[in-house]
Every structure is written in C-alpha cells, then in structure tokens.
Amino acid sequence: MSETINSYFNQLVNKLKTIYSDNESESIAFMVVEHVLNYSKFRYSENRSQPFPKTKKGKWKTLEIRLLNSEPIQYIIGEADFFGLKFKVNNNVLIPRQETEELVQLILSENNSEKIKLLDIGTGSGCIPVSLKKKRNNWDIYATDISNNVLKIATENATENNAEITFLQDDICNSVAFNSDNKFDVIVSNPPYIPIMEIDKMHRNVKDFEPHLALFSPDDNPLIFYQHIAEFSQIHLNKNGTLYVEIHEKFANEVSRLFKNKELKNINIINDINEKARIVKANY
Ligand SMILES: C[S@@+](CC[C@H](N)C(=O)[O-])C[C@H]1O[C@@H](n2cnc3c(N)ncnc32)[C@H](O)[C@@H]1O
C-alpha cells in the first residue's frame, strides 16, 4: 500500500524533533506541506489519508534533507511570515522573530497620531517599517541598514507589500545619512546584540545559516550599537520623541543605564510574552 500524506507528515515531524521543539517541528512540517503540496492546514486535514502524490516525493525529500541539516525552513522556501505579512528572506537577512512582532505591536498601541516620522535602524528584511506602514499609512517611514544586499531585500519586501518606505544605506556607528535638523518622532531598532562568546551555545540553524552581521556584537563592547543609537537619538529625536530598542534579556539594566547616561528619560524595560526582558523604551 502506498504511504499516506499523514504518514509523510508524521515521519517528518519525528525527524525534526531531533533538532526542534515539538511545536516548532509541527509548524515546520505544516510549512513543508504548504510549500510542496500547496495545501492549507484545513486542506491537509481533509486529505491526510490520501496517498502521497508520487510527483511530489522528490521535492519533499530534498526539503527534508536540507531541514535535517538544520537549514531554516524560511531560507529554503525563501519566505517568512511576520505580523500577518509575507517577507522574502535570504541568508543576507535575519529571519524576523516573534519577539519583534511584539515590538511592532507596542509601537502601534502607543502611537496613534496621524502624522509620525519614524526611523528603523538596522532594518534587515524591512519587517518593522513595512508592518508599521501597513497599519499607519500616513506615517513617514525611513529605514537604514549598513548592508546594500540587505537593503535590496528590504526594498523588494516594501514593494511586494505595497508599503512606501525610504531606505538608506548607513552605518549607525558612523552615521552620515541625516543632517542634524532631520528629526524623528519615533526611532526603533533591533540591532545585533548577541556577544560572540555565546556562539558555542547557539543552535546550528541560527549560527550556521543566519548572517553574523545581524546577530553578533563584539565581546569587549556588546552594547556598542545601543551606545551609537542613543547618541544618534540625542541629535535626531524630537523633544518627547520615543526610542524603542529590542534587547538581549541579559542586558536590560545595562542598556537602561547607558540610556540614562545619554540623557534619555522615562526609561522602561518591557518583557516579552515569555516574561523575558525584551524591549527598552525611552523619551528624549
Ligand atoms: C538583529 S538584525 C535586525 C533585522 C530586522 N530589523 C529584524 O528585526 O528582523 C540587525 C540588522 O542590523 C544591521 N546592521 C549591522 N551592523 C550595522 C551597523 N553598523 N549600522 C546599521 N545597521 C547594521 C544588520 O545588517 C541587520 O540587518
């Protein structure tokens, strides 16, 4: 008897569990079903007892081999979900994370003005500015990244999602993209924040596939990006403007102290859904 779609699914989930958690394994397997068979979850549950289509076996196997080599599913299919939208990704850009969706949600919940000028520093796939623009079409949104390869993908994502964003290449450690009378109401950033010394503790799917330019900060100064973001904000935030940064849970107090030393005020640490310190916000 030929094997069913369900047995292919279950076998893949079991193999993935050697690398990922149970929940992650299942959601990756659903993404494979969607990509290979073009089935939604509903269509899968309706058809799971059907024989697995012969013509799709090769594609399924190829994906399985890459997944079991720890390659993230999003790089294999070239796409990631974020805030209900689709973003193209390749190995130049970080795969957008759920914690960052919480950052977008916080900004939306705290900023209801019609007109806001906002800057995202280190934009990666463009997930933050594009998601914000889809909800606040009148906002004037800028985004920077040090890498032109990254900005290419971000620009494609803005176009695909029909979101008008101004992208500029800029190094936050030596910023030249904006003159001093260019002010923002909101500055947001999810900068690289993992000290390189943590690399040995990281999963292969992250350290071997995601761009190190997006992940790591130097061991001798892991807060270097926050220091430059704070100095940039001193010049470029409007009075009472707000700075939001995503952080490493270990560095909440250090980032807060650094912001205080840079004369930022109303500093708040905000936990993510897993109760880990994840966002620091401050006013100028
Ligand atoms: C952690 S990723 C965040 C990407 C995206 N904002 C997200 O949340 O998924 C950090 C980003 O900062 C960029 N980056 C690294 N060094 C930078 C620098 N000196 N100036 C500006 N951007 C930088 C990287 O290319 C990367 O896209």
Would 27 be classed as within a structural domain?
yes
Domain with 266 in it = 86-283
Q: Determine, yes or no, domain membership for 276.
A: yes
Is 40 a residue whose pLDDT tops 70? yes
Residue 250 lies inside a defined structural domain of this protein:
yes
- Secondary structure of 245-262 as H, E, C letters: EECCHHHHHHHHHHHHHC
Quote the tokens at residue 187: 């500055």
Q: Are residues 18 and 96 in the same domain?
A: no
81 within some domain:
no
- The tens digit of pLDDT for each residue in 201-218 reads 999 999 999 999 999 999
* Protein residue whose Cα sits closest to atom 6 of ligand 1: 123
Average pLDDT score over residue span 178-205: 97
Total domains present in the chain: 2
The pLDDT of 29-44, averaged and rounded, is 96
User: Which CATH number do you get for residue 178?
Assistant: 3.40.50.150
CA of 243 to the centre of ligand 1 (A): 16
57-63 mean pLDDT: 97
Atom number of ligand 1 nearest to Cα 147: 25
* 20 and 116 part of one domain: no
Closest by Cα among 55, 54, 29, 59 to 44: 29
First to last CA, the chain: 69
Predicted confidence band of residue 1 (pLDDT cuts 50, 70, 90): low
Q: Are residues 41 and 90 in the same domain?
A: no
Whole-number Å distance, alpha carbon 20 to ligand 1 midpoint, is 25
Ligand 1 atom having least distance to the Cα of 103: 8
Pocket of ligand 1 (CB under 6 A): 94, 96, 100, 122-125, 127-128, 144-147, 150, 171-173, 190-192, 213-214
For residues 241 and 235, what is the distance between their CA atoms, to the nearest angstrom? Answer: 11
Output the pLDDT for position 2: 76
Distance CA 166, CA 275 (A): 34
Residue 39 CA to ligand 1 centre (angstroms)? 34
Closest CA to 230 of 194, 264, 186, 191: 264
Q: What is the mean pLDDT of residues 10-18?
A: 97
Query: Is the domain of 34 the same as that of 97?
Result: no
State the distance from the centre of ligand 1 to the C-alpha of 145, rounded, in angstroms.
6
